[in-house]
Amino acid sequence: MMLTPENQADAPQPAVPAEAATIAMSCRVRLARNLAGERFPDWATERDRERVLGAVREALSKEAPELSMVPVSGIEAQERDILCESHLISKDLLKRAAGGGMAVARDGTVCVMVNEEDHLRIQGFAQGLDMQSAWRYADELDTRLERRLTYAWSPRLGYLTACPSNVGTGLRAGVMLHLLGLRLLGEIEAVVSALERMRLLVRGIGGEGSEAAGQIYQVSNMDTLGIDEAGIIRRVTRICAEVVRQEYNARVRLLQESPLVLVDCLARSLSVLQNARLLTTAEALEFLSALRLGAAMGLCTRLKVADVDSLILMMQPGHLQKGLGTAMTSDERDEMRADFLSRKVARVKLKC
Amino acid sequence: MKCELCHKADAETAIRHEIQGEIQELYVCQGCARQTAAPPASAPSAPEAGQPPPPPEGMEMVPLMGMILDAAFEIVGRAMNLAEPACPACGILRHEYRKQSRLGCPGCYTAFSKELDAAIFDLHRATQHVGKVPQRAQALWQRRQLEARLAEAIQEQRYEEAIVLRDELRRLPGPDAKEGGPS
């Protein structure tokens, strides 16, 4: 089935190939909420933000004691990087020294950011395309907090948010997709263009304004008003399932029609990872992306997709420094990253 | 906003008026603008046929494009800080929220509703929320609606209706949120 705006509405849910988990890396549902009668964080004073933080902390302690609140000022520099790289919190939250806070569940299924762009950003996380679970985690926590907090809301516009682009449900449902197969076939631009025509946002791995480094894309809904939460979740899941199928087909076609292109890409990437002496984060991500594709297609020995996902996280600045137990300059990190990755992929070989 | 001279019609135009060397700027309706700009009876000469009357000395008409031409509003509006629309709840000015693309508080949705409604439709292609309804927020919104209707009923001496509204208010959960919340 072609990805066109005409066939995306209310189409029956097609079966997602078993390989979906290697293409849809993870998903997230974010709910933007604000407290009635309080200035939005960007315009609030430190005192205002501290008051909001206190109200949320109290609500969490009563309704969700399993989540403990940590003020941003209390998070160490190295931990901040790790939290950002894990996509639990945003860099914007870290800029909010006074009044910023976060609370995360031990199992990593939910995380709340306080005083980021909105007073609350409730996030639910799940693996693959399991958007229903991510929605359930965020919705349950939201419903519990709402027993204690009076949200800014109106019957006409729904949840009132700092930016009108989030007004209504305040819900952003996003999936992280690895689309290297479509890139190698030169079809990625057409898919991204089709997604945008269907009013979906397509961003890079780092979120708003970032490049799709490593051909990892975040796809999420644009509209938050005029469609209910279940409708948004269904729509994003259905369209992303179709993209997953297209990526899967692209990988099959690559193997059948252009095996040399595929193998060349894998071999070059593996060579660099095994032999480079200096690697920036962006470079490493590009080569690991190729290796991830090889692992997903069973073309690499001693390498699983989960291993590559782990390397993608571990080679980032905060994780790298924590793993080595020392703070480093950017140049030192590039050297350490190259060394770290060359050791990790030293025994990997291509089957083709 | 209302005309700053007659306080009846909607203001559509800004005028600059020099009084004792000081320039005052006012938002006025078309009627008052014409009246104020008309040449005084003792004007030295009548305008030529077909030509608009020249503004009297010290006064000039400033066309405002308002919602239509943002650029014009920015230039004129900045020069007229006093008349620029502001949110009564948080005090944020129109150009301030436009610059940052962030509203000041939930009350801004009411204060700037005219232009925001158009922007929201452009963003979402919808104007009506469907979906989750937070119970506490809904109760607060209902309370505010009832309070407004009650005040109006008392003002207009519709006491029987006021009693009904008062009883409805009493049945609602107690207010515990600050003022200035949802619109």
Could you report the per-residue pLDDT of B95-107, keeping only the tens digit for each? 888 888 899 999 9
- When pLDDT is cut at 50, 70 and 90, the band that residue B72 belongs to is very low
- Neighbour-count burial of A324, counting CB atoms closer than 10 A to its CB (0-12 exposed, 13-18 middle, 19+ buried): middle
Local structure of A134: helix, strand or coil: helix
Look up residue B120 and give its DSSP letter: H
Residue A278 confidence (pLDDT): 97
**In B, which residues are within 8 Å of A92 by CB distance?**
none
Q: Give the position of tokens 């006491």.
A: B159
Local structure of B38: helix, strand or coil: coil
Residues 71-100 of B with CB under 8 A from A: 90, 92, 100
Residue B58 confidence (pLDDT): 40
A112-121, B51-60, B81-90, B157-166 — which one is most confidently predicted on average?
Answer: A112-121
Residue B60 confidence (pLDDT): 40
Residues 23-82 of B with CB under 8 A from A: none
Residue B66 confidence (pLDDT): 38
ipTM (interface predicted TM) = 0.85
Residues from A in contact with B at Cβ < 8 Å? 34-40, 42-43, 117, 139, 142, 146-147, 149-160, 162-165, 167-169, 171, 199, 222-229
Residue A170 confidence (pLDDT): 98
Residue B22 confidence (pLDDT): 53
> Of A10-19, B18-27, B171-180, which range is least confident?
A10-19
Phi-psi region of A232 (alpha: psi -120 to 50; beta: other; left: phi over 0): alpha
Asked if the model's pLDDT at residue B15 lies above 80, the reply is: no
Residue A96 confidence (pLDDT): 82
Q: Do B178 and A223 touch (CB under 8 A)?
A: no
Q: Which residue has the higher pLDDT, A212 or B145?
A: B145
- Neighbour-count burial of A48, counting CB atoms closer than 10 A to its CB (0-12 exposed, 13-18 middle, 19+ buried): buried
Q: ∠ CA(B95), CA(B100), CA(B106), 5° rounding?
A: 85
Q: Residue ranges of chain A with pLDDT lower than 50?
A: 1-15
Residue A326 confidence (pLDDT): 82
